[in-house]
Amino acid sequence: MNSYLAFATRVANLNVSHPKIDQIWSMLDSIRTQNKYKVAATKYGQRHISVIGPSGVGKSQMALRYTSNNEGFTEVSEDGMEEIDIRPVVYMELPDPFTIKELYQNISYALGFPEIPKRITIGEAQRQAFHLLDKQKVEVLILDELDYILTSNVPHKAAMNAIKKVANKANITLVLQGTPEAECLLKINFQNFRRYPKLLMSRFNECDEEWCELLRTIEDHLDPPTKLGFGDVNTLLPVILHRMSNGLLGILTPVLQEFYSILGVFDENFNDFSKLEFTEHTIEVLTQAYQNINGDLTEDEFKVMLAKGY
């Protein structure tokens, strides 16, 4: 792979970590390690966590990356007649609209099982999901978009009890992810509140050293021939990027990717790194990238949506 294609690949796959993400990954690693040492699993033997934060802070990308970093493998049965896909970590979104049967079916889909006939009963869907979770040796199941329960016709307590049953019957660790609005589901009763200790993922509220360090990490990951100084306060780029993204990785990342796209990085014949150097047009290109990503959303509209946690 030549250096131009390698750089384009790094831009297209931009996904960096930061201390909160590292903390969550470390906790999951610790939970999984402890589980392996347990002599006998009990009904309530597994630990679980919840990850709460507004849209755009990077919850889904964090979970997807942890999943990809813990890829499974194929195991051949003792008789050599069957190949089994072992999946230690599985990510899935809750169904929308949420129903208990669709919960079980989505688990089966996430484990690679083909679509189940529509007339299947809840009990059959449940048994299929539990069978696959056990057969494929799932250790951690990440359930994203907890908010879908809030807009469903399923009573909140019944929905959370169904999720608890998945953890108990399959004897696995659950990670529940949602916005602050979904936090009420974790507080239905004290058992739920205790069962899913909350980890908060927040936006970077200030253009401070923590924000600049993130930007430096991003630029180090991209490793351009000549750095623009994303995290250098003397370039004003930290301030500009913070104002554009309001400290949300879900906006920052695509804006930077679009920025490099406008500069031609993804063009088939791109072969000139000098186009990526800081010029009097750099801020103009960044502004265009922001507009391409966010459309005609005004700053006031953005702040209203940010306040509501969208």
CATH code of the domain containing 44: 3.40.50.300
pTM: 0.88
- 186-135-125 Cα angle (round to 5): 60
Looking at the structure, tell me whether residues 190 and 214 fall in a common domain. Answer: no
Looking at the structure, tell me whether residues 119 and 242 fall in a common domain. Answer: no
Looking at the structure, tell me whether residues 78 and 215 fall in a common domain. Answer: no
Per the domain annotation, does 286 fall within a domain? yes
Q: Is residue 27 within 8 Å of residue 199, measured between CB atoms?
A: yes
Looking at the structure, tell me whether residues 180 and 217 fall in a common domain. Answer: no
Looking at the structure, tell me whether residues 53 and 166 fall in a common domain. Answer: yes
Range of the domain at 301: 206-308
The model's pLDDT over 24-82, given as tens digits with 9 standing for 90+, comes to 999 999 999 998 887 655 545 689 999 999 999 999 999 999 999 999 898 887 777 78
Identity (one letter) of the amino acid at 19? Answer: P
Looking at the structure, tell me whether residues 286 and 182 fall in a common domain. Answer: no
Of 176, 200, 224, which residue sits at a domain end?
200
Looking at the structure, tell me whether residues 215 and 185 fall in a common domain. Answer: no
97 upstream amide cis, omega within 30 of 0: yes
Per the domain annotation, does 173 fall within a domain? yes
The model's pLDDT over 250-260, given as tens digits with 9 standing for 90+, comes to 999 999 999 99
Looking at the structure, tell me whether residues 82 and 112 fall in a common domain. Answer: yes
Q: How many CB atoms lie within 10 A of CB 210?
A: 13
Of 200, 217, 244, which residue sits at a domain end?
200
3-state secondary structure of 169: helix
Looking at the structure, tell me whether residues 142 and 248 fall in a common domain. Answer: no
Per the domain annotation, does 11 fall within a domain? no
Of 147, 180, 200, which residue sits at a domain end?
200
What is the percent of the chain where pLDDT is above 70? 91
- Mean pLDDT, the chain, rounded, equals 90
| Number of separate domains in the chain | 2
Identity (one letter) of the amino acid at 261? Answer: S
Looking at the structure, tell me whether residues 39 and 168 fall in a common domain. Answer: yes
The model's pLDDT over 81-137, given as tens digits with 9 standing for 90+, comes to 788 899 999 999 999 999 999 999 999 999 998 766 668 889 999 999 999 999 999
Looking at the structure, tell me whether residues 103 and 177 fall in a common domain. Answer: yes
- CA gap 5, 298 in Å, rounded: 35
Q: Which residues contact 265 (CB under 8 A, 6 or more apart)?
A: 4, 7, 8, 11, 276
